[in-house]
Structure formats: C-alpha cells, structure tokens
Structure 1
Amino acid sequence: MGRTNPTYRDALRAIEERWADFQRALRRRDQPRFKTLFEYARTHADASGLLNHQNPLLPALFSIDLEQEARLDAHEERLDALEEAITAQADPVSEPDEQVE
C-alpha cells in the first residue's frame, strides 16, 4: 500500500519546483540566496514533518526564519566581540594610582 500523504521533504521539493520560474527570473546575485532559503527549510525538515501541517509552506517559512535568526545571533555575538576588542585597544588598562603617604 502506498502512502496517502507525501512526506514533508517531498512537499518541500514540490514547493521548490513550483517556485522555479521565480528563481530563474531573479537577478543572478539573488539566485544563490534563493537556494540558501530552501537549504534552511531542509535543515528543519524533520521537525516540519512531525508538525504535519496542512500547508507545508508555513513550516518552511518558519524554518527559514529560525535559520536567519541564528545567523543574526551569530553576527551580533561577533560584533559584540569586535566592539569589545576595539574598546580594549582604545582604552588600555591604566596603571594603578600611586598612593601618597
């Protein structure tokens, strides 16, 4: 007996195929970004498949949001570290004040 419902990965592949004309119409610089968004969706395909949502595009979009949020967090951490390094360079630790007796 065959499955009555396609797997989430099958549904995601079908969504990507439906959007293929859109991808081809994008500027060349944006086409790799388009592919990356679907990679993000595939990253969370196991969780999305467990959700078994009627509209597979919604879990895909949420998965993309999760990956982009993770990237933002990583960039913010890196920026904080760079700012701390710059501050440390600009404001070196000063010598302790000499005590006058």
Structure 2
Amino acid sequence: MGRTVPTYSQVLDKEVRKWREFYNALRRKDREIFDKVIELAKMNRDAGSQMRTPEPFKPMILSILLEQQKELASLRKELEKLKD
C-alpha cells in the first residue's frame, strides 16, 4: 500500500515552494540568506515530524529560531573568550 500521509520533509518542501514568488523578488544576496534560513528550518525535521499540525509554518519557524539561538549562544561564548 502507498503512503497516504505526506512526510514532514514533503510538507516542508511544499511550504517552501509557496514562497517562490517572494524568493524571486529578493535581491541575489538576500536569496542566499533566504536559502540559509530554509536550511535552518530543515535541520530539525525529526522534531517537526512529531508535531502534528495542519500549519507546517509553525514548526518551521520554531526550527529556524532554535538554530539561530544556538548560533547566537555560540557567538556569545566566542566573544566572552576574546574578552578574557
């Protein structure tokens, strides 16, 4: 039997495709940043797949925020080392 429920990765890819017009309207340098942000959203697919929601944008945004917070914490740690 075939799969009746799409995987979170498939849902995430579909959500990203909805942003195609927005993406195309961005400047080239902003497109590169957009691509990096989307990669952040994909880094927590396992957690996103556990959240049963008809709104994939919510776990997508949470994944982005989580990864950005980790990066911020890492940069703060490096900054503190440089201060010492």
| TM-score category, normalised to shorter length | over 0.9
Indicate the percent of aligned positions where both proteins have the same amino acid: 36
- Post-superposition shift, 1:3? 2.7
> Aligned partners of 1:75, 1:38: CA distance in 2, in Å?
21
Q: Name the amino acid aligned to 1:71.
A: E
Equivalent residue number for residue 75 of structure 1:
75
Equivalent residue number for residue 44 of structure 1:
44
- Post-superposition shift, 1:83? 0.9
TM-score, normalisation: structure 1: 0.78
Q: How many residues align?
A: 84
Q: Name the amino acid aligned to 1:65.
A: L
| SS in structure 1 of the partner of residue 29 of structure 2 | coil
- Post-superposition shift, 1:2? 2.8
Q: Which runs of 5+ in 1 are unaligned?
A: 85-101
Q: Which runs of 5+ in 2 are unaligned?
A: none
